[in-house]
Structure 1
Amino acid sequence: MTITAIKETVWPAQEVVEDLSELRKNAPLTHVLTNIVVTNWTANVLLAAGASPAMVIAEEEAPGFAAIASGVLINLGTINSFDAKAIKAAAISANKSGTPWVLDPVAVGPLPYRTEIAIELLNYKPTVIRGNASEILALAGASSGGKGVDSTAKSTEAIEVAQELSLRTGAVVAISGEVDYITNGKEVIAVPGGHILMTKVTGVGCSLGALIASFLGIQKDPLRAAISASAVFAVTGERAALASRGTGSFAVAFLDELTVLKS
């Protein structure tokens, strides 16, 4: 497949500003099934953005909650056999009820257990798949994955595979990296920006997946929802870096800048 001509979106694109305003107006209920390392951070990020997070993980509750939520995130960061049951139940429920959901296939490729789970979850039609370049390549069967949760491939290396994965699954695919690339298989949108400190604070990428799920709650076009979330994160990261001295103050500044972000 030939890579489609790439368009670029940067803050404050009108559509992104409108989507953020709509998110804050409606506070979409976002069901987050994520890893234990980032749960508190992710909840705070969604609150700062204006969404309403709910970290419901029990197998007995997950499917019912996925059916009533505005959007769902499924993140495989610290997957275990107990969480796998709840995650599968939530994905099935979201697919059946029409709730848009995001698959974040953390560290797929080198680890067979989570890779098998991620591939199975594709059967339940994720609305958006978000990962770094190595994760996207591995999920598509084009490589063996990265170094743990870190990518060993540049985001540009995964664009063509992401297009093919999007067309095959029906999901928008969002590749996170120095520049984010988001595709529905036909269009490819670049979202530049951000800062290297975003890779030094645990959970920034994982919380981006959650924010995409929140935007899906107010924006019916999944391509636009993923673009808006990425653009919001990019400008927030840039502004937080200017206001911080290192990783600790950056984390606080990131939440502060996201809270006050308007234009």
Structure 2
Amino acid sequence: MPWGDGVELARSAWPEVAEGALVLVPVGSVEQHGPHLPLHTDGVIAEAVARGAARRLSARPALAAPCIAYGASGEHAGFPGTVSIGLEALRIVLVETVRSLSLWAGRTVLVNGHGGNAVAVGTALAQLRGEGHDVAWLGCGTPGGDAHAGRSETSLMLHLAPEQVRLSAAVAGDTRPLEVLLPHLVADGVRAVSPSGVLGDPTGATAEQGRALLEEMVSTAVRLVTAGRADARGRLVDAGDAPRPAGGREPTRP
């Protein structure tokens, strides 16, 4: 099929778009990912999760929208190449995107690839759900993965876009857990904690690991969207999940 596989909104002509469809909107960032990964890593991963989930959600028409490329990446501002639009601008973009989609879509799910976006996502969804929109969100974190540009993201990119990975330039960064690093990241930014920008260790990353991680994230997304259980800020959760703080960060993806 020369126009895509039937799940990509951007490749569709309007008569092919089913009214009432479920739309998954990837939300990424343009920010440093160490000396070895491209600036749009978060968007690449979020897009892959959205497309993979859309293909499997066959109970209703499902579409993966184009990625919202720019996010809130102020903690990475110390590195050339990073582009951050900030929390308030991102919140407005998300609100207006969902309002527009709601004119024809049945439900919108944001697929967030960058933990720094979570406050804006949570705030936007609280507003949108208060307005009566059928909208929720989920993250692309991998339990047990390292925080940023380490083995997890490097493996994912080796699977999704190997030609964009400079593996020979990969270096280990600060490997402390994110919960330990987070106060320092918020106060001083990533560069003060890790001059390379890496939070974790990409050593041993492989495309095979990346394929398995993506499968896990897509399967989780399908399960969460199908169950449809959301917390007060619209984050899709499993039945046994403990409530998260409103607008809380992703557990493994700053």
The question of a shared fold, defined as TM-score above 0.5 by the shorter chain, is answered with no
Higher strand share: 1
Higher helix share: 1
TM value normalised by structure 1: 0.30
TM value normalised by structure 2: 0.31
